[in-house]
Structure 1
Amino acid sequence: METLPLYTEDAHGVSEKPRWATPHPRPSRNTMIWRYFVVVCFLICYYLLLRPTEAPCTSLNCYTPCDTPGCAAPDAPVDRFTPFEPEQSQDENYELDYEQPKTNQRPLATTSDYTQTKVPLEAHIMSKCPDAQDCLQKLVLPAMEQISDKVNFNLSFIASVSSKTSEIECMHGPGECIGDMLMLCAANLPFPPTADESLLPQTYPRTPIIRSLGFANCLINDFSQIPDREFVHQCAMEHGIDFEALNKCASQQGDKLGGGGQGEPSLSGLALLRESALRSQSVGARISCTVRLDESVWCIRDGGEWRDCAQKGDGANPQALIEEVKRLWEERN
């Protein structure tokens, strides 16, 4: 039997090999290295673009484990709070100038602000008022769980401010003034925390509302302990608030408003409380707690009862507040 030839000869006697009999030349070493490099780059880009990301936490922890029937701006003289001097603070139970216990904290993440037009939402309270506790825990916090990204929330305080001196009068005494300052300081501290505020630019971000409002709720949940040092420290640790910076702000003697950044006075709880109290006076908020939505009174908690609430009294329902905020949000964005 004849076998197939591996190649044939043409008429001129020249042999010609078939195509499959001639192997392709092997790529050079440089070519192979370049191909591997392209494959590795593709895999890295695929991982960076398609890997899952962790969703940010947006939960407000409401801690639940005075007797005053109502908390309104005083018409008669009440206990006055005067900025305390360092030498007189040793015997006062409301002094905050103490050392911070050494603890290990997880790094705090940065946040970014939305560019949309947010709806103004404000709660005017006194830090040692039972009605303020009910107001935050029964209305404000449940609503903020769902609308924190849609509102420009502000926690303001009710107190009597002197236009001639640095004295501030609080209905429930000096301890309440310190409680007010602690909550204001927590909301205005630089975030992430920094060791030297004097080096910060004026536009440096401040504490996210999820943290500062959670801290305020922690304090007001057991307001009789304000401003006990261990109690304040525990609440600060639970919500990622820099306690050393908080203590410095609340103990600041300066009465000039500033953020502690470049060319600004140090962050002062006293100045923040003065500004906040004047803000409450300017909008006519005298009762703790008064909730205002879009610059109008939404609901008032007074003497353990809701009154003057929007939507024929249904404004005390968190769901009603949520729906109204969403409606206003959709109109403006």
Structure 2
Amino acid sequence: MSRLLIPLLISIILGCSAQDNIKVSVFYESLCPDSIRFITQQLYPNYDAVSTYITVDFVPYGKATHTLNDGVWEFQCQHGPNECHGNMLQACALNIIEEQAVKVSFVNCVMSTAYPANDAYVEECADANGISWASIVQCVEDGSGGNLLAALGDRTHAVEPTITFVPTIIYDDVYDAALQSSSLTDFLGTVCGLLGREDC
């Protein structure tokens, strides 16, 4: 079978009609190897081919928890406190960035570094994409970052069924195991199948 045929058959079986634009939500973690692999090897390399057909929705939180203690958000992350910091840095940056292409470029840049939770690497990626590093730092330090990350956590915990693997890729806010599986190994083919296109 061709690369495009399998996801197209998936969309037909699931009763998904072809669409002009698809929301692609990526629930991920800054220090998760599988998240890094998906973003740098599947999403980013194929983004240009489908950029006019998709809206990418980054949700950097993953298998974490958050609690509010004395007005301050406290987070516990799968790969430790540094991952929480990395998630917050990305949450703050994504809140600042307006253009989707810049969001994709920034997140790929950060996730391609040797350590995506390192301030120096994130600063380099911010500078490379025309994002104010000072604004990101202010967001983290003034409590805005905690509020943003907690909101992303609420979104993550609201996913049904409960997220058990990171990254989780969801199309148009509806989780589907078959699309999740195919996205991790053939993101382009999956999106093209959902679009009902062979030329994207």
Percent of pairs identical after alignment?
A: 23
* 2:65 equivalent to 1:160: yes
Q: Once structures 1 and 2 are overlaid, which stretch shifts more, 177-186 or 137-146?
A: 137-146
**What is the match of residue 180 of structure 1?**
87
Q: Is the 8 A contact 2:31 2:116 kept in 1?
A: no
1:163, CA displacement in angstroms?
5.7
Query: Structure 2: how far apart are the matches of 1:310 and 1:230?
Result: 35
Q: Which residue is 1:139 aligned to? A: 42
SS class of match (2:163): coil
Q: Distance in 1 between matches of 2:152 and 2:94?
A: 12
After TM superposition, the structure 1 = structure 2 runs for residues 35-54 of structure 1, keeping only pairs within 5 Å, are none
Supply the distance in 1 between the matched residues of 2:20 and 2:78 (Cα, whole angstroms): 36
2:36, 2:112 within 8 Å by CA — same for their partners in 1? yes
* Deviation at residue 323 of structure 1 after TM alignment: 0.8
Deviations 1:258-282 (CA, angstroms, capped at 9, x unpaired) = xxxxxxxxxx111110000110110
Contact 1:143 1:321 in 2 (8 A): no
Q: Report SS of the residue matched to 2:82.
A: helix
The match for 1:320 is 189
**CA shift in 2, pair 1:148/1:224, >3 Å:** same
Native 8 Å contact 1:151 1:325 kept in 2 = no
Q: Which residue of 2 aligns with 1:293?
A: 171
Using the alignment, how far apart are the partners of 1:185 and 1:153 within structure 2? 16
- CA displacement at 1:216 relative to structure 2: 1.5
TM-score normalised to the size of structure 1?
0.47
Once the two structures are superposed, the pairs formed by residues 43-82 of structure 1 within 5 Å of their partners are none
Gap regions ≥5 residues in structure 2: 1-18
1:164, distance to aligned residue in structure 2 (A) = 5.9
> Which residue of 1 is the match for residue 105 of structure 2?
214
Are residues 1:240 and 2:147 paired? no
Match of 1:251 in 2: 141
Give the distance between the partners of 2:68 and 2:116, measured in 1 at CA: 30
Matching of residues 71-150 of structure 1 within 5 Å: 118-150=21-53
Equivalent of 1:272, from 148, 152, 155? Answer: 148
- 3-state SS of paired residue (1:138): helix
| Aligned position for 1:87 | none
Q: Which residue of 2 aligns with 1:48?
A: none
Whole-angstrom distance in 1 between the partners of 2:187 and 2:80: 31
Aligned to 1:76: none
Deviation at 1:180, TM superposition (A): 0.8
2: CA distance between counterparts of 1:226 and 1:163? 23
The C-alpha deviation readout for 1:293-312, integer Å capped at 9, x for no partner, is 122335xxxxxxxxx4439x
Q: Distance in 2 between matches of 1:271 and 1:235?
A: 23
- Between the aligned partners of 2:179 and 2:20, the Cα distance in structure 1 is 23
Q: Could you tell me how far apart the structure 1 residues matched to 2:194 and 2:78 are?
A: 32
In the TM superposition, residue 187 of structure 1 has moved relative to its aligned partner by 1.3
Residues 185-204 of structure 1: matches in 2 within 5 Å?
A: 185-189=92-96
Whole-angstrom distance in 1 between the partners of 2:88 and 2:166: 16
Instruction: Considering Cα pairs closer than 8 Å and 6+ residues apart, tell me whether 1 or 2 has the greater RCO.
Output: 2
Count how many residue pairs are aligned between Structure 1 and Structure 2.
172
Q: Which amino acid aligns with 1:161?
A: H
CA shift for structure 1 position 223? 5.1
Larger Rg: 1
The change in CA–CA distance for 1:117 and 1:161 in structure 2 (over 3 A counts) is: farther
